[in-house]
Amino acid sequence: MASSSSSSLRISVMLLLSFLATSIVAANFYQDFDLTWGDGRSKILNNGDLLTLSLDKASGSGFQSKNEYLFGNIDMQLKLVPGNSAGTVTAYYLSSQGPTHDEIDFEFLGNLSGDPYILHTNVFGQGKGNREQQFYLWFDPTADFHTYSLLWNPQRIIFSVDGTPIREFKNSESIGVPFPKNQPMRIYSSLWNADDWATRGGLVKTDWTHAPFTASYRNFNANACVWSSGASSCTSQSPSDNNAWLSQEMDSTSQERMKWVQKNYMIYNYCTDTKRFPQGLPPECANANQS
């Protein structure tokens, strides 16, 4: 009996240690991100499970990933600034550095209480952006956490919200359109005051009586190629199942869901803005999946 009890105890201890090890791995904000600015306004809480950014009249705040990535399938859950968030912008994006940088953007433009957030997306290739698409969301992004995802592989970039694709930007290098594929990028996020343009073109200013404004983050996951010392963690010897996203494309169901979002919730599309591009729309706009 004593031996049996001792064996059961050892198994229990091993299971507990295994659980703790798993918990430590899951609590990854400490291991995956650096708090880069804001003088204490960015915080990692709950043993690394939660990250918050705050904004007051003196400063906003931000963080960035420790790793650089060259392609990835990246998820983050965000809960946005509640109440009167007019004038504030919560930016969550991938970017390289320099004048010919690449960038893939989610930006959440705050609004007056009761009015919807605007989700602003953009893609930069070799320093050139101007590829904005904007959406309302079909839920209140301040009431709970929602998952915002970027699938970035050599063929396409897919923006998704709670698993529903909202935008696809295809590689159109064959017609001279730069595509982000050669510059490793870090993940960045910031909460900042942009009341000169963010809400109704700058007509609605930030109401500092509601400060501090806070956005929250959890459940970061990156199934991605980490770039380090000039080499990628993804190799031809990597298990194909783990890297299936590297050649992933949308199936017909996903395409229909994206069309539903774009029909009902898209409020701006650069590919239909003929006044902005009087000399002709950008060449990638001829591809129906860009619009």
Measured CA to CA in angstroms, residue 216 lies from 15, 21, 48 at distances of: 31, 25, 12
What distance in Å separates the CA atoms of residue 8 and residue 28, rounded to the nearest whole number? 31
- At residue 290, the pLDDT reads 61
Structure tokens at 49: 């499970």
Contact 73, 149 (CB under 8 A): yes
Selecting among 68, 107, 168, 284, the annotated active-site residue is: 107
- At residue 21, the pLDDT reads 35
Contact 83, 76 (CB under 8 A): no
For the chain, give every domain's residue range: 29-285
H or E segment to which residue 78 belongs: strand 68-79
Known catalytic residue at 256: no
Known catalytic residue at 103: yes
Q: Which stretches does DSSP call E strand in 162-263?
A: 164-170, 186-193, 213-228, 231-232
- At residue 203, the pLDDT reads 87
pLDDT of the chain along its 291 residues, tens only?
A: 544 445 444 444 444 433 333 333 344 899 999 999 999 999 999 999 999 999 999 999 999 999 999 999 999 999 999 999 999 999 999 999 999 999 999 999 999 988 999 999 999 999 999 999 999 999 999 999 999 999 999 999 999 999 999 999 999 999 999 999 999 999 999 999 999 978 888 888 999 999 999 999 999 999 999 999 999 999 765 555 678 999 999 999 999 999 999 999 999 999 999 999 999 999 999 875 564
- At residue 204, the pLDDT reads 87
Selecting among 103, 168, 173, 256, the annotated active-site residue is: 103
What distance in Å separates the CA atoms of residue 96 and residue 180, rounded to the nearest whole number? 10
| Whether the predicted model's global pTM rises above the 0.85 cut | yes
- At residue 98, the pLDDT reads 92
What distance in Å separates the CA atoms of residue 291 and residue 270, rounded to the nearest whole number? 8
Pick the CATH number of 29-285 from 3.90.1300.10, 3.30.365.10, 2.60.120.200, 1.10.420.10: 2.60.120.200
